[in-house]
């Protein structure tokens, strides 16, 4: 059918306009790279160094290995079910327990929002302040909330505009990390740096295993992002064909860059200095490796990097809410699509409101740790779901993961999510509060859907 302007519109079975299929292989690759490379490495490198010591590269490498295992499960599932909603859709099909499906959806949505909230705090408290100096007198919380609202406006404008913004920002944030790597190579070749630091593990009264795994659990926050892409499946052209190459190549690029940045950081600065620098760690590395480099340039790049991370995470969260509404797991109202922009405006408003509250109440390190905790739990379920759903064949050809990979992925994700990994208790407390909110929303959802069904039954009677 066509709208008043004569433009063809595709209408779904529920009467809502279909989302635009504007994402090709190039945009998808840049989406994956841009989502992974961002807030994690720009804002949390110093915190990871404080947990593990000079062997900063090791947690990033291990986090990549664990994420790579789970990526194969996602590739098989998005090939079988190329729809929005991602992990929640897979859990729904595999376990058929509505409460579990809802909680998976809520956990993934929360992880995207906590990730975006951490980016908003890094935007206001680190890079913007470095860029503007003493002239910035607005409280950080107001800057961060305004930032979240601006993201909502871009998200509402349309996925094509959001993704082309991602293309530009991805190249900018990659350039920032390449500057760190090049500066490191130049400084080390000139005699700076201490290679002995690369094998130092700071146990701080705990075993080396706990030191490494606790750092890996946090570094995992920097490697997540690839899973966001599956929530964009309904906006991809030929998703079954383009996903495997785009996701695996994108993760490989991101991992290589992260490990090189970690090596450079440890070579040029002791772990205690990186840790004390906090979210300013990369700025400190740059000032040591290239004292004459204008730090405001890197501050601007870092600013745009966290913008990109936040934009993609809010895109994912809103599409997840939209997908769950389409699956009738939450009220259909949340799947309302704006007829002109063809974007899920109610889902965008809902996720933006939650992000604004988190920005104002939780600090950046706890947001990052809670993000990785929630996703590790979800990844454990996804790795199990892919094996369960082998009993549900589909007619079309799709990617199939080697069976051993989901098994290993489930075990490693469950370990990193458990207290055995040395994860601090406050992250479990924050996650528990978020999930408790999810339980309340689930009960409200059941009440709303029950009233809708009751009203429909009375009307038909």
Each residue's pLDDT tens digit, 35-51: 788 767 887 888 899 88
> Residue holding tokens 């989406």?
31
With 50 as the cut, is the pLDDT of residue 80 above it?
yes
- Residue 394: its H or E element: none
C-alpha span between 334 and 324 (Å, rounded)? 8
Contact 216, 47 (CB under 8 A): no
pLDDT at 4: 37
User: Among all chains, which residue has been given the structure tokens 């509060």?
Assistant: 433
Helical pair 239-268 and 39-52, crossing angle rounded to 10 deg: 50
pLDDT at residue 163 is higher than 70: no
Mean pLDDT of 323-340: 77
| 3-class SS of residue 17 | strand
Per-residue pLDDT tens for 108-146? 888 888 888 888 888 877 788 778 876 777 787 888 888
- Residue 367, C-beta contacts closer than 8 angstroms, at least 6 positions apart: 114, 115, 117, 118, 121, 358
For the segment 275-295, the average pLDDT, to the nearest whole number, is: 89
| pLDDT value at residue 1 | 40
The pLDDT of residue 175 is 92
Residue 15 has pLDDT above 80, yes or no: no
**Helix, strand or coil, per DSSP, at residue 14:** coil
User: What are the start-end ranges of the E strands in 17-131?
Assistant: none
CATH top-level class of 25-448:
mainly alpha
Give residue 160's pLDDT band: very low, low, confident or very high (50, 70, 90).
low
- Confidence band (pLDDT; 50, 70, 90) for 376? very high
Contact call for residues 37 and 305 (beta carbons, < 8 A): yes
Q: Please say if the pLDDT value at position 223 is more than 70.
A: yes
């Amino acid at each position: 059918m066509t709208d008043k302007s004569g433009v063809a519109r595709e209408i779904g079975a529920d009467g809502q306009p279909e989302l635009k299929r504007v994402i090709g292989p190039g945009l998808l690759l840049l989406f994956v790279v841009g989502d992974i490379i961002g807030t994690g490495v720009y804002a949390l490198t110093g915190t990871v160094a404080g947990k593990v010591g000079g062997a900063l590269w090791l947690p990033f490498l291990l986090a990549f290995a664990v994420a790579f295992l789970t990526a194969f499960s996602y590739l098989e599932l998005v090939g079988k079910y190329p729809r929005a909603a991602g992990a929640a859709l897979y859990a729904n099909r595999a376990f058929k327990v509505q409460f579990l499906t809802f909680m998976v959806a809520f956990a993934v949505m929360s992880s995207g929002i906590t990730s975006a909230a951490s980016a908003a705090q890094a935007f206001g408290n680190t890079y913007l302040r470095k860029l503007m100096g003493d002239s910035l007198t607005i409280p950080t919380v107001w800057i961060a909330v305004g930032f979240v609202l601006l993201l909502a406006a871009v998200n509402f404008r349309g996925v094509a505009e959001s993704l082309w913004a991602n293309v530009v920002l991805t190249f900018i944030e990659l350039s920032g990390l390449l500057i760190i790597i090049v500066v490191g190579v130049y400084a080390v070749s000139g005699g700076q740096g201490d290679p002995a630091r690369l094998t130092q593990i700071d146990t701080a009264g705990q075993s080396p295993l706990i030191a490494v795994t606790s750092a890996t659990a946090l570094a995992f926050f920097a490697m997540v992002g690839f899973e966001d892409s599956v929530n964009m499946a309904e906006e991809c052209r030929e998703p079954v064909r383009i996903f495997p190459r785009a996701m695996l190549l994108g993760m490989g690029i991101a991992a290589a860059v992260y490990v090189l940045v970690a090596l450079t950081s440890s070579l040029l600065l002791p772990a205690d200095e990186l840790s004390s620098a906090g979210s300013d760690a990369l700025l400190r590395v740059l000032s040591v490796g290239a004292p004459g480099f204008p730090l405001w340039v890197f501050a601007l790049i870092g600013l745009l990097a966290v913008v990109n991370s936040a934009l993609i995470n809010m895109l994912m969260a809103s599409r997840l809410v939209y997908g769950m509404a389409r699956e009738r797991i939450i009220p259909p109202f949340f799947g309302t699509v704006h007829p002109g922009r063809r974007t899920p405006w109610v889902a965008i408003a809902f996720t933006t409101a939650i992000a604004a509250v988190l920005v104002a109440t939780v600090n950046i390190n706890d947001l990052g740790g809670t993000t990785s905790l929630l996703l590790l739990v979800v990844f454990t379920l996804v790795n199990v779901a892919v094996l369960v759903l082998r009993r549900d064949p589909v007619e079309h050809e799709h990617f199939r993961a080697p069976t051993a990979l989901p098994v290993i992925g489930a075990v490693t994700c469950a370990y990193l999510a458990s207290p055995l990994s040395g994860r601090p208790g406050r992250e479990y407390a924050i996650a528990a509060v978020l999930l408790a909110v999810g339980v309340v929303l689930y009960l409200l959802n059941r009440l709303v859907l029950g009233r809708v069904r009751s009203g429909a039954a009375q009307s038909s009677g």
